[in-house]
């Protein structure tokens, strides 16, 4: 890292860790409409590496964008999403799981914790971590440490998550610029780019619906699970969109709009598909 980079802190970036195999994550990640690279990140874990246009263009801070994406992914899928994010002044994480309120923690660039200890305990419980052994390691992340900066705090968090299967590739270390991380992910032989929705034929060749546990929930199946998920997405998307617009938070507004669009798509497929 150059002297200038060390003085100003790392360039903004984010990683989205999903507790599912890449084949399950890919069709849901398409809905974010953000160029990403998807690669395995441990036992039954995947990581999405975004290009980061929203915060590069100055439209929204990286923490809000990453939190909105994690919320949209988690509501639209039956697995949790952990967003790691960083910028020149802060770093932190957000855990989104279903319709529950996201939980997270923040450190200053110097490593000083500014989050609440209760949030870290909630995080441990939702991740299925050991409340004693893992809890002690998490407590150290919330305590002052003059030798730790924000980047090392995120690395410490990943180390705590090793018992639940998280193993992030070494070249995808938090704190690196988003573009560099995406290029590193693209070079991995087991990674694939996230494509736009609407390419069903190409998507079916890449990962047929019937081969993933998420298949019955996809809108084009027209089944009862897809219908239930579409209604849930509509119910969650509207308040998210309204709240995001009122707070002028494009990340939350985008998440709400995506949920509404996907829910409407699912109901449209259900209403217009031929009946047996």
276 residues of the chain, pLDDT tens digit each? 434 344 445 689 999 999 999 988 988 888 787 889 999 999 899 999 998 888 888 778 999 999 989 988 887 678 999 999 999 999 999 999 887 889 999 999 999 999 888 999 999 999 999 989 899 999 999 999 999 999 999 999 999 999 999 999 999 999 988 889 999 999 999 999 986 544 434 444 444 444 444 444 444 444 555 556 666 666 666 666 666 666 655 566 666 666 666 666 565 545 444 444
pLDDT at 201: 42
Give the tokens for residue 97.
């799981």
Q: What is the DSSP letter of 184?
A: H
Cβ atoms of 71 and 241 closer than 8 Å:
no
Which two structure tokens, joined as six digits, stand for 24?
């399950």
CA 131 to centroid of chain Cα atoms: 24
Q: What CA–CA distance (Å, rounded) separates 81 from 72?
A: 9
- Nearest to residue 182, comparing CAs of 13, 18, 1? 13
pLDDT the model gives residue 63:
93
What was the pLDDT predicted at 227? Answer: 57
Residue 260 has a pLDDT of 65
Between the alpha carbon of residue 177 and those of residues 11, 63, 85, 157, 165, the distances in Å are: 5, 14, 11, 19, 25
């Amino acid at each position: 890292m150059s002297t200038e980079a060390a003085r100003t802190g790392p360039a903004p970036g984010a990683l989205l860790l999903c507790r599912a195999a890449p084949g399950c994550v890919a069709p849901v990640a398409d809905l974010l409409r953000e160029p990403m690279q998807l690669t395995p990140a441990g036992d039954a874990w995947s990581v999405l590496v975004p290009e980061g246009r929203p915060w590069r263009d100055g439209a929204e801070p990286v923490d809000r964008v990453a939190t909105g994406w994690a919320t949209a992914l988690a509501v639209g899928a039956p697995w949790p999403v952990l967003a790691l994010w960083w910028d020149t002044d802060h770093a932190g994480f957000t855990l989104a799981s279903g319709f529950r309120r996201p939980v997270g923690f923040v450190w200053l660039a110097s490593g000083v914790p500014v989050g609440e200890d209760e949030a870290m305990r909630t995080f441990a419980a939702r991740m299925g971590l050991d409340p004693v052994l893992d809890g002690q390691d998490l407590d150290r992340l919330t305590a002052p440490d003059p030798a730790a900066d924000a980047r090392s705090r995120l690395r410490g968090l990943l180390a705590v998550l090793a018992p639940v299967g998280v193993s992030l590739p070494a070249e995808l270390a938090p704190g690196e610029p988003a573009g560099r991380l995406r290029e590193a992910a693209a070079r991995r032989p087991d990674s694939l780019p996230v494509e736009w929705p609407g390419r069903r034929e190409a998507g079916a060749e890449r990962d047929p619906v019937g081969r993933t546990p998420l298949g019955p929930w996809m809108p084009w199946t027209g089944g009862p699970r897809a219908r239930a998920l579409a209604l849930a997405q509509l119910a969650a998307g509207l308040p998210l969109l309204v709240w995001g617009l009122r707070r002028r938070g494009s990340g939350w507004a985008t998440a709400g709009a995506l949920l509404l669009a996907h829910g409407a798509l699912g109901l449209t497929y259900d209403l217009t598909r031929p009946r047996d």
